[in-house]
Structure 1
Amino acid sequence: MKAILTTVGQDQVGIIAGVSNYLAQKQINILDVSQTIMSGYFTMMMMVEVPSADLDFVQVATELKDLGTKLGVEINIRNADLYQAMHQL
């Protein structure tokens, strides 16, 4: 299943490393990434491929929120199908 992961927060060392290490441990593949710094705030969007048969998506979302708290950023992940459905209405 494809998902969109967003990360936003004050820029600091280790944000990309923390997020990408978590994804690698869960065998979640990064398909595309865009990141920038806007007025001192780090923003990153990723399109990822979640191996749905092996992982509980709700648990992944909770663990990413917890990781965000540790890194001092806000991390959200949403099923890409939701975005597509919103644009088809």
Structure 2
Amino acid sequence: MSRIIISVIGKNDVGMAANICTYLAESNINILDITQTIVKEIFDMMMIVDIARSPKSFDEIAREMDELGQRIGASIRCQREEIFTSMHRI
């Protein structure tokens, strides 16, 4: 399993989650865990996804997610799970 952490933040708008999930499905990326919060007009979502069956590399996914974020008005960041875990270890 090859997991990455995807974090999304931006001004809430219709279809934000749908656009992101559509990209993941079309890229054969499985969502393992997801949390989403909307506070006032701020949309915040974090996902743990498995990219093992995707034909795309981590770098390609990260670049395309960044481009998608620019189109929908959100900041989308991807990190490999092992890097995320080591950065947040107490």
**TM-score, structure 1 length as denominator?**
0.91
Aligned to 1:85: 86
Percent of matched pairs sharing the same residue = 33
Question: Gapped runs of 5+ residues in structure 2?
Answer: none
Q: Does 1:46 align with 2:64?
A: no
* Aligned partner of residue 83 in structure 2, secondary structure: helix
Unaligned runs of 5+ in 1: none
1:39, distance to aligned residue in structure 2 (A): 2.8
For residues 57 and 72 of structure 1, the distance between their equivalents in structure 2, rounded to whole angstroms, comes to 22
Residue deviations 1:4-54, cap 9 Å, x none?
101100000010100000000110000010001123100000010012773
Does residue 34 of structure 1 match 2:55?
A: no
Cα 1:37–1:54 shift into 2, 3 Å: same
Instruction: Return closer, same or farther for 1:53/1:17 CA change in 2, 3 Å cut-off.
Output: closer
The alignment covers a number of residue pairs equal to 88
CA contact (8 A) 2:27 2:54 kept: no
Return the alpha-carbon distance in structure 2 between the equivalents of residues 28 and 52 of structure 1.
Answer: 7
Q: Contact 2:8–2:76 at 8 Å: present in 1 too? A: yes
Q: Which runs of 4+ in 1 moved over 4 A?
A: none
Distance in 2 separating the partners of 1:5 and 1:35: 12
Q: Kindly report which structure 2 residues correspond to 1:67-82, keeping only aligned pairs within 5 A, or say none.
A: 67-82=68-83
